[in-house]
């Protein structure tokens, strides 16, 4: 079929239902009809009227022909679709009989086109045709089954890991150094005064005790340097025993433990793995506690090796807590690590001028995440600027004693009258401390105050070790000196 063109005043009108012969005849008739000076208007109108009914009749037949052809096209399309569907069902049935599953012939897009060329043919599939077609299908099916198996293992492993992480984090979140503290007091009994619910502290007391003003510094006498800390205004109750989690292994290490990795290797679903985990929960918790005890001993060794004030043979370390009976069950190792003057920092060859202080149990979380505030990019050893998915492994050599931090802590604790205080109680106060030695009156937390003074100690040591030529040109006055005698002399000469 081709279009039929009618010319009228220079325009073309197309009728797609006319045959080529009809078009040629109509075109010839119209050319003869419109030749000039051959017919009058009356003759032309009569001729048009004569052929008008023939034109309408032809259009009617053309419409019927169009409907018939459309019907035949739809019927053919439906027949092709039926043959394709029948072929697909037969192929599916024969593949299932051969031991294949539906996921074996569920292909990615780039393979589905090739597979469709084998399946979507509009032909009935006979037994003979199937015997020829099946070998070419096996290549795609085997490769897709291997890929599906690998993907399934990967997805299943991801589910196991997520479930295992939740189970292990549940153990971590339930592990508290003070599990037994504060629970020994039955309801109705009088609580000790130090366990008062009022955990605030007078801001003026803190500022007056820790941060003397310039006038007070200039009037300090030598006798004041030897004053008894107990005569200072004591701190009000700081806080009840906050949650202090026990040491917990980094997830990247914990997932490699045999008792954990064996569970992840089992070819079961996540629920079955969790049931097995619950059976081994006590054993897993025991291994975690054993790991924590060993790491705490290593941290104590770091303290004893770096501090000249720590005497291993001195017996039970002193530790003062605001909650009665909170010390019950604490080992000497834990007591020593909880002290506010037991300060660590990250060990870096090219460290910051004044590294951030680390207190037990902060090293475990800090070294696992290695945030920017504590660790430099060189220390993190990033692979493609990406952090490890399960954190960094534990390495005791990445922690070291912080002498400047410990020196600062002991001096400030003496001014506070709490030489045996625990760091977590002081840190729980928040930004309640200000420095009275310099113009920086910004409120700081306990850890921030330790870092502030430790930085000045490092600067003072560098100034003391400077070359004589530099000392002549620049005189360094350490206004943050923690020695009250030295501080008075420096103030008098200023």
pLDDT at 187: 33
Global pTM exceeds 0.85: no
For residue 226, the number of C-alpha atoms closer than 13 Å in the C-beta half-sphere is 2
Using CA atoms, how far residue 254 sits from 138, 248, 390, in Å, is: 43, 9, 10
End-to-end alpha-carbon separation of the chain, Å? 111
Q: Compute CA 200 distance to the chain's CA centroid, rounded to the nearest angstrom.
A: 35
In angstroms, the CA 92 to CA 106 distance is 12
Q: Which residues of the chain have pLDDT under 50?
A: 1-17, 180-240, 484-494
From the list 283, 271, 265, 222, the residue with the least C-alpha distance to 487 is 222
Q: How many CB atoms lie within 10 A of CB 186?
A: 6
Angle between helices 270-279 and 281-306 (to 10 degrees): 70
pLDDT at 204: 39
Contact between 358 and 374 (Cβ < 8 Å):
yes
- Over residues 63-89, the pLDDT tens digits come to 888 889 999 999 888 888 888 888 888
Q: How many CB atoms lie within 10 A of CB 224?
A: 12
pLDDT at 140: 86
β 11-15/399-401 pair status: unpaired
- The H or E element that residue 12 is part of is strand 11-15
In angstroms, the CA 484 to CA 478 distance is 12
- Residues 6 or more apart from 314 whose CB is under 8 A from it? none
pLDDT at 260: 92
């Amino acid at each position: 079929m081709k279009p039929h063109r009618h010319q009228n005043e220079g325009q073309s009108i197309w009728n797609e239902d006319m045959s080529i012969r009809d078009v040629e005849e109509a075109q010839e008739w119209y050319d003869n009809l419109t030749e000039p000076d051959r017919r009058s208007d009356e003759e032309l109108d009569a001729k048009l009227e004569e052929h008008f009914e023939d034109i309408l009749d032809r259009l009617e037949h053309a419409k019927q022909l169009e409907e018939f052809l459309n019907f035949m096209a739809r019927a053919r399309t439906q027949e092709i679709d039926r043959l394709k569907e029948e072929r697909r069902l037969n192929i599916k049935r024969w593949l299932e009989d051969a031991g294949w599953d539906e996921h074996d012939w569920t292909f990615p897009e780039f393979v589905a086109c090739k597979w469709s060329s084998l399946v979507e043919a509009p032909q009935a599939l006979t037994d003979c045709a199937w015997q020829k077609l099946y070998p070419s299908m096996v290549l795609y099916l085997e490769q897709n089954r291997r890929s599906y198996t690998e993907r399934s293992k990967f997805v299943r492993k991801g589910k196991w890991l997520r479930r295992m992480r939740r189970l292990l984090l549940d153990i971590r979140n339930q592990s508290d150094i003070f599990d037994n503290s504060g629970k020994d007091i039955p309801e109705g009994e009088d609580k000790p005064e130090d366990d008062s619910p009022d955990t605030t502290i007078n801001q003026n007391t803190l500022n007056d005790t820790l941060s003397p003003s310039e006038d007070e510094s200039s009037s300090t006498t030598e006798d004041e340097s030897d004053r008894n800390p107990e005569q200072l205004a004591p701190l009000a109750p700081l806080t009840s025993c906050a949650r202090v989690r026990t040491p917990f292994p980094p997830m990247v290490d914990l997932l490699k433990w045999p008792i954990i990795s064996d569970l992840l290797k089992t070819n079961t679903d996540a629920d079955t793995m969790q049931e097995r985990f619950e059976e081994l929960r006590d054993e897993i918790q025991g291994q975690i506690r054993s790991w924590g005890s060993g790491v705490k001993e290593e941290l104590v060794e770091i303290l004893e090796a770096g501090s000249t004030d720590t005497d291993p043979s001195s017996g039970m370390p002193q530790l003062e807590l605001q909650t009665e009976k909170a010390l019950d069950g604490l080992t000497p190792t834990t007591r020593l690590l909880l002290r506010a003057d037991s300060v660590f920092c990250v060990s870096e060859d090219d460290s910051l001028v004044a590294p951030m202080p680390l207190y037990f149990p902060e090293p475990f979380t800090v070294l696992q995440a290695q945030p920017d505030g504590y660790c430099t990019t060189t220390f993190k050893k990033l692979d493609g600027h990406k952090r490890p998915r399960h954190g960094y492994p534990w390495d005791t050599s990445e922690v070291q004693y912080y002498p400047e931090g410990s020196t600062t802590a002991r001096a400030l604790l003496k001014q506070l009258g709490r030489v045996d205080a625990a760091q977590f109680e002081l840190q729980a106060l928040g930004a309640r401390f200000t420095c009275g030695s310099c113009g920086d009156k910004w409120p700081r937390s306990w850890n921030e105050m330790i870092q502030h003074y430790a930085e000045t100690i490092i600067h003072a040591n560098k100034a003391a070790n400077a070359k004589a030529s530099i000392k002549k040109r620049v005189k360094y006055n350490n206004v943050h000196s923690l020695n009250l005698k030295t501080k008075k002399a420096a103030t008098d000469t200023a």
